[in-house]
Structure 1
Amino acid sequence: MASNVLSLYRRIIRWPAGHWLFTRAVCFKAPYFASISPLIKTLEPNRCVATFRHRRRVTNHLGTVHAIALCNIAELSAGLMTDASLPPSMRWIPKGMTVEYVKKAAGTMCATALPGQRIVESDEGYELPVHVTVTDPDDETVFRARILMWLSPRPSR
């Protein structure tokens, strides 16, 4: 059974401007992500690809993409990938993030989030590492993140 976010994604992307509409819905639910004006390109179990354009509001004093904008796209793509991959009986929350700034970031950024291990249903909570790589328009890695997600059973109602 697909998660609610994955079901919504699959429905909306069939519409004209569907990827844009889906992304706006995500940013409505979690408004901080709108600060980078992302676009969700792909969402499927175990994979999410999201982009954002290099524009003034995400630019640092060096004229490159700000480090926190890169963290923002990493957390967004990791969270969506995790949500789209979970069994319905499980829930998630970010627990920590380790980042590496590989080189100066300029141009449209593309983040790809992948799980670091198999996502399984469990009666107990466990940590899931999610690996996010952000590339520039030349497909060169500019940023890497390892986001630790805490997965746990949903409480019984």
Structure 2
Amino acid sequence: MADTPLLRLYRKFTRWPAGHWLFSRAVCMKAPYFGSVSPRFTLLENGRCEATIPHKRRLQNHIGTVHAIALCNLAELVAGVMTDASLPKGMRWIPKGMTVQYLKRAEGTQRGVATPTVPLVTAESGYDFPVNVDVFDPAGEKVFNALITMWVSPRR
């Protein structure tokens, strides 16, 4: 499969010092809302995306842990970027739904990992594409899981 424009951009940026930070800023310029969780992409390849969000006061809930919606934002971000970086030519995507499970208190920097549950394919009509996202705390324990359904369809 040929590299997508997003994957080529990631590879170009990450060759430079502070390249992961630059790529993260570029993604947040394209989709500004995600800047609210201060993501840092750490890995992007066909079929996998990883990013972290810090444990900052502005991302905390009333009990001092990372807020559930910040975790949802991380999940949607890594799922979308992974899908975009893996998409066959001539196809497009949009999130359709998300089911989440909060497994334990989210403390410290959180790392989200998005992987597809089925292969992406070129099709003549749209289809559901489920993406699994696991979020881990600094000890490597899973604190959150999301199953995000992307609607993948041919470009018009």
What's the TM-score bracket when you normalise by the shorter of the two chains?
A: over 0.9
The within-5 A match list for 1:14-93 is: 14-93=15-94
User: 1:7 & 1:124 partners in 2: Cα distance?
Assistant: 27
Q: Name the stretch that deviates more: 1-10 or 36-45.
A: 1-10
With normalisation by structure 1, the TM-score equals 0.98
Gap runs ≥5 in structure 2: none
CA-to-partner distance for each residue in 1:47-70, whole Å, 9 max, x for gaps?
Answer: 000001101010000000000000
Q: Once the two structures are aligned, what percentage of the paired residues are identical? A: 61
CA-to-partner distance for each residue in 1:86-140, whole Å, 9 max, x for gaps?
Answer: 1111000000000000001000000000001011111111000000000000100
Gap runs ≥5 in structure 1: none
- Count matched residues: 155
Amino acid at match of 1:151: V
What residue number does 2:143 align with? 142
Report the aligned-residue RMSD: 0.5
User: 1:75 & 1:38 partners in 2: Cα distance?
Assistant: 12
Alignment pair present for 1:107 and 2:88: no
Q: 1:2 deviation in Å?
A: 1.4
Describe the SS at the equivalent of 2:92. strand
Structure 1 segments, 4+ long, off by >4 Å, are: none
Describe the SS at the equivalent of 2:125. coil
Q: 1:3 deviation in Å?
A: 1.3
User: 2:55 & 2:64 partners in 1: Cα distance?
Assistant: 10
Amino acid at match of 1:109: Q
Amino acid at match of 1:104: R
Amino acid at match of 1:61: H
What residue number does 2:120 align with? 119
